Chains A and B, each alone.
Chain A
Amino acid sequence: MADPAAARVHPLAVLGAGSMPGAGATLRALPPACRISLRADPQVAAAIAAAIGLPLPEAMCRANVLGARAALRLGPDEWLLIGPEAAGESLARVAMAVPGPASVVDVSHRSTALEIAGPRAVAVLGAFCALDLDAAAFPVGMCTRTLLGKAEIVLWRSAAECFRIEVWRSFAPYVWNCLEEGRLEFFI
Chain B
Amino acid sequence: MLLIPCPHCGARPENEFRNAGEAHIARPAEADDAAWADYLYMRTNPKGVFIERWRHIHGCGRFFNCVRHTVTDRIIATYKAGDPRPSLDVLRAWSEHAR
Contacts and interface: CB of A to CB of B under 8 A. Distances in A.
16 contacts: A60-B8, A60-B60, A61-B10, A61-B60, A74-B60, A74-B61, A75-B61, A75-B62, A76-B8, A78-B60, A78-B61, A131-B13, A145-B59, A145-B60, A145-B61, A147-B58
Given A60-B60, A131-B12, A145-B60, 11 more contacts: A61-B60, A75-B59, A75-B61, A78-B61, A130-B16, A145-B58, A145-B59, A146-B58, A147-B15, A147-B16, A152-B58
Interface of A: 60-61, 74-76, 78, 130-131, 144-147, 152
B15 A76 contact: no
Interface in B13-68: 13, 15-16, 58-62
Contacts, number: 39
B9 interface: yes
Nearest to A39: B61
A147 B1 CA distance: 14
A86 B62 CA distance: 32
Contact of B15 (A60, A78, A130, A145): A130
Q: Which 8 A-B pairs have the closest CB atoms?
A: A130-B13, A75-B60, A147-B58, A152-B58, A145-B59, A75-B61, A76-B8, A60-B8
B59 A144 contact: yes
Given A60-B9, A130-B13, A146 B59 contact: yes
A147 B13 CA distance: 10
A56 to B, nearest CB: 15
Given A60-B9, A146-B16, A76 B58 contact: no
A47 B37 CA distance: 46
A144 to B, nearest CB: 6
A182 to B, nearest CB: 17
B21 to A, nearest CB: 22
A98 to B, nearest CB: 23
A46 to B, nearest CB: 18
B58 to A, nearest CB: 5
Contacts of B59: 75, 144-146
Contacts of A131: 12-13
Nearest to B7: A76
Contacts of A130: 1, 13, 15-16
A61 B59 CA distance: 9
